[in-house]
Amino acid sequence: STQSTWAAAARGALIFFVMSELSRVHSFYMFSLVSFINVVNRSLAKVRAEILAQRAKDGGEDKEPEEKKQEEKKEGEAAAEGEGAEKAPPEEEKLELSPAELTKHIQEITEELTYQSFLFMRRGLFEKDRLLVGVRLCFRIQEKANRIDPDKLSYLILGKQSTEVPHQTESLKQFMTESMFRSCKALEDIPTFQALLSQMESEAVHWKKWYMEEKAEVNDLPKQFKNIDLFDRMLLLRALRPDRVTNALEMYIEQNMGAKYQDVPPFQMSETFPETSAKIPVFFVLFPGQDPTKDVRVVAIKEGMSDEDVVNIPMGQGQEDNAIRKLKNAAATGGWIMLQNIHLMQSWLKTLETNLEDVTSDPNTNPRFRCFLSSEPPPLAELKTIPETILQSCIKVANEAPQDLKNNMRRAFSMFRQDRFEKCTKPLEFKALLFALCMYHSLLLGRRKYGPLGWCKGYNFNEGDLNICADVLNNYLNKYEKVPYDDLRYMFGEIMYGGHITDDWDRRTNNAYLKELIKPELLQGANLIQGYKSPDPSKTDREAYEKYIEKLPPESPELFKMDSNADINLLTMKTENLFKDIITIQGGAGTSDATKRREDLVREKVIVVKAGIPKQEFSMLELQEKAKKKTPYNIVCMQECERMNMLLITLRTTIEELDLGYQGQLNINENMERLADAILLERVPGVWKEVINSSSKKPLGSWLGNIADRYKQLEKWSENFTLDKECLCISLLFNPMAFLTAIMQVTARQEKLPLDYMVLNTMVRNYLTPEEIPGPPETGAYIYGMYLQGASWKMPSDRKSEGYLAQMKPRELSPVLPVVNVVSVPLDKKQKEGYYECPVYTTTSRGSTYVFTANLRMESLEFNVNNWILAGVA
């Protein structure tokens, strides 16, 4: 029993540390020891009540009717004696348990405490972080019980990749990228997956079949790995199908913790209320479409509170003194107080913190008193907008409304009551356009979940924008005889919603939605989205529109005019963000490879990194001698070599210092520790990225391989300052725009034209690899090493025809763009008709990594360019 008691205590400590660590993910995730003790006491009371109820049931069934009568008589006499006297608190019945019963009892307490703590934490987390608490809790419990191999867990979390490029066979290259090969090579370090790549090669057809499955986490693997356990399957998914890892993790939690950890019932205020008290306030996180006032009112009525007993104060300027006065009055009289939007009162929050602490700690506070607070989350997770003591002392509720298209449409349309419809002098046009406007608003919100593929930057579109646009619509329809569609699109896209948008490509996406939605064809039943027409306003009243919203098709990327592969990108992004948060929580690489000492691990990694660094810098004096003519191309080559030298010097210096530090020859400083952490986590250290101003998202192994490839290209180019066939891998340049500018400079000098008058024009050639190119281009240069997102490239059947943009194939996330001939032409000669202006970025993060605009041929002149714009093609 002592061992069981220690196990329960250890579980409690483990849970509390998991709880405490969550604040590293978001500033709102603050929990105190006092709040955890409340969870412990609640768990103990629940288990005890269940045992007593079971005993009463068992005892009641065993007793004779006469014995029951005698007991009831004694209870009645005791009650009569105590009438009129002050009641003493009932003494808890002491539980007499046998050793076996005690062991079972402690196990029940441990399980109940784990589940109640899980619910307590999960209730205060945003939807995107709710899987995190389950995964973290499950992994920590499994680690404590020695049920997880530390090396496997490290691989899963870090997504390790080999620094060496493994042999890539043609049979596997049909569906595997270089990154996947590196991941599988790293996986071979785990005994279960020894010689994985050679085994995959021998069964390439079966592996491709498994890879293409929609639910790879449950489909049968090829026979050599058919019987591996779920954790090992997750390692394969991490390497080959990261989009299915979150689903596999949910299965793993259910398998090891129980189904109740996955099938969590939705938030009910009535079930949370018993946890509150006069000393424990409730803190609601505000989200669009969620109003906690209704939930509080329902519980207040149930608890017998009148409207006068419940004070609701929306915080704003001038409400400070009133709020404190009402808070103290409620504490004295046993009333309830709700202070809304406290995030708006930053300078006053200290005063609230002090007064709230006073009333909750005062023994004279009426036990019926309750305090409810609400606040919007900060724009950045690390910003601290609410005092720690308030967050720690409260029960936190983050009841986030679903953000799918149907729910967004319900919320948007519900803002407009019948009287808004009756104000307009053109009721038919107003109804059709308002419904389209609600759809536009919902699409903009829903598109955010796809990350950079949806919007290059994050925008906080809100219901206020929609409301103002509806007023503008009403005013314009009343003012003009003919509906001014162009003016409406301009007002909505450039001023109202456009006021939030700071990226030009996002502005283009926004305007493309308006062109598709705000148009005269709405009145004739035009499609709003795929398979969903605009209803006939003459036959549709407000109630009919509400019913029509319920007929929206199931959520899919196609509703946003995006490719079906966008869902794969979304799920992959969720996996990466989850493991990124776990690494943040761990505070470094401390838990990985726990069987080895950190020093040994660092030195092993240092040896591997050293081997991946090119041995020699470029001699800039020799290069200057060779490049006698300072042509634009030569200058770019020199600049690239200089940047490479800076990087190599930094790499060698920092890695040598780290090596000497762990050998004991130098004192280890903070910079060295950061470098060691990054290397252990398979991440590129920030100090290395800063040298070349890189925003690369590659893991360390791939990044070092990329640096080696850059070095080889520069070595070949600088040998005699000529490019073979005037062809260059643009993705291996530190500053690709410099090379593209050089093309414009060379052409401008040859044509004797002003540089400001020149622009770049791109023509995709029918060569998949540079080896296929017969010779240098007539003008400009060939570039390769570019990949498409949101579309693929259709190669023609013969070399004389031109290729064009086409829909992506399933699971082909980054199809290669063939060799491109980049030329410089006068501005008025740039090809535009039948071409899509495609932004080119250095990383999938888009945004500030923009380089230039390529013009890619579409299938025909009649093809709607908005299809590619809304698909997020780049």
Amino acid 594: pLDDT: 44
Query: Could you tell me what percent of the chain has a pLDDT over 90?
Result: 55
pLDDT in tens, 18-51: 999 999 999 999 998 888 898 888 888 888 887 7
Is pLDDT of 390 > 90? yes
Strands 820-826 and 781-784 turn out to be: antiparallel
Strands 835-841 and 850-857 turn out to be: antiparallel
Task: Determine what percent of the chain falls in helix, strand and coil, rounding each to the nearest 5.
Answer: 60, 10, 35
Is pLDDT of 134 > 80? yes
Is pLDDT of 66 > 80? no
Instruction: Indicate the pLDDT class of residue 756, thresholds 50, 70 and 90.
Output: confident
pLDDT in tens, 792-830: 999 988 777 889 999 998 888 889 999 999 999 998 888
More confident position, 157 or 595: 157
Is pLDDT of 65 > 70? no
Is pLDDT of 210 > 70? yes
* Residues pairing with 396 in the sheet: 283
Order of strands, sheet of 820-826, starting from the edge strand that comes earlier in the sequence:
727-729, 781-784, 820-826, 758-764
Helix axes of 670-680 and 598-612: crossing angle, nearest 10 degrees:
80
Instruction: Indicate the pLDDT class of residue 94, thresholds 50, 70 and 90.
Output: low
Rounded Cα–Cα distance for residues 507 and 494 (Å): 8
Closest CA to 565 of 790, 246, 838: 790
pLDDT in tens, 582-604: 988 886 544 444 435 778 888 88
Q: Whole-number mean pLDDT of the chain?
A: 87
Point out the least confidently predicted range of 59-63, 496-500, 701-705, 721-725: 59-63
Is pLDDT of 1 > 90? no
Is pLDDT of 283 > 60? yes
Query: Could you tell me what percent of the chain has a pLDDT over 70?
Result: 94
**What is the SS3 string spanning 556-569?**
CHHHHCCCCCHHHH
pLDDT in tens, 429-453: 999 999 999 999 999 999 999 999 9
Amino acid 70: pLDDT: 52
Work out the burial of residue 379: count CB atoms within 10 Å of its CB; fewer than 13 is exposed, 13-18 middle, 19 or more buried.
Answer: exposed
More confident position, 154 or 165: 154
Mean pLDDT of 756-779: 90
Amino acid 299: pLDDT: 92
Amino acid 4: pLDDT: 64
Amino acid 789: pLDDT: 93
Amino acid 588: pLDDT: 56
Is pLDDT of 229 > 80? yes
Which of 37-51, 614-628, 633-647, 698-712 shows the highest mean pLDDT? 633-647
Point out the least confidently predicted range of 377-381, 708-712, 865-869: 377-381
Is pLDDT of 716 > 60? yes
Is pLDDT of 683 > 60? yes
**What is the SS3 string spanning 449-499?**
HHHHHCCCCCCCCCHHHHHHHHHHHHHHHHHCCCCCHHHHHHHHHHHHCCC
Strands 532-533 and 792-794 turn out to be: unpaired
Amino acid 497: pLDDT: 92
Amino acid 86: pLDDT: 35
Mean pLDDT of 306-327: 90
Is pLDDT of 297 > 80? yes
Mean pLDDT of 464-480: 92
Instruction: Indicate the pLDDT class of residue 80, thresholds 50, 70 and 90.
Output: very low
Instruction: Indicate the pLDDT class of residue 318, thresholds 50, 70 and 90.
Output: confident
Instruction: Indicate the pLDDT class of residue 366, thresholds 50, 70 and 90.
Output: very high
More confident position, 798 or 485: 485
pLDDT in tens, 723-749: 888 899 999 999 999 999 999 999 999
Rounded Cα–Cα distance for residues 583 and 485 (Å): 50
Q: Are 238 and 156 in contact (CB under 8 A)?
A: yes
Amino acid 515: pLDDT: 94
Amino acid 81: pLDDT: 39
pLDDT in tens, 540-556: 898 999 999 999 999 99
Amino acid 88: pLDDT: 40
Tokens 């006073």 locate to: 358
Amino acid 76: pLDDT: 46
Rounded Cα–Cα distance for residues 61 and 81 (Å): 29
**Entry pTM:** 0.87
Amino acid 591: pLDDT: 43
Work out the burial of residue 865: count CB atoms within 10 Å of its CB; fewer than 13 is exposed, 13-18 middle, 19 or more buried.
Answer: middle
Rounded Cα–Cα distance for residues 448 and 457 (Å): 9
Amino acid 3: pLDDT: 65
> What would the two tokens of residue 548 be?
């029509």
Mean pLDDT of 348-374: 93
Is pLDDT of 359 > 60? yes
Tokens 């499950």 locate to: 138
Closest CA to 688 of 737, 641, 648: 648
Mean pLDDT of 770-798: 91
The two counts, helices (H) then strands (E), for the chain are 33, 15
Is pLDDT of 465 > 60? yes
What's 725's DSSP letter? Answer: G
Could you tell me the sign of the dihedral formed by the alpha carbons of 427, 430, 436, 441, in that order? negative
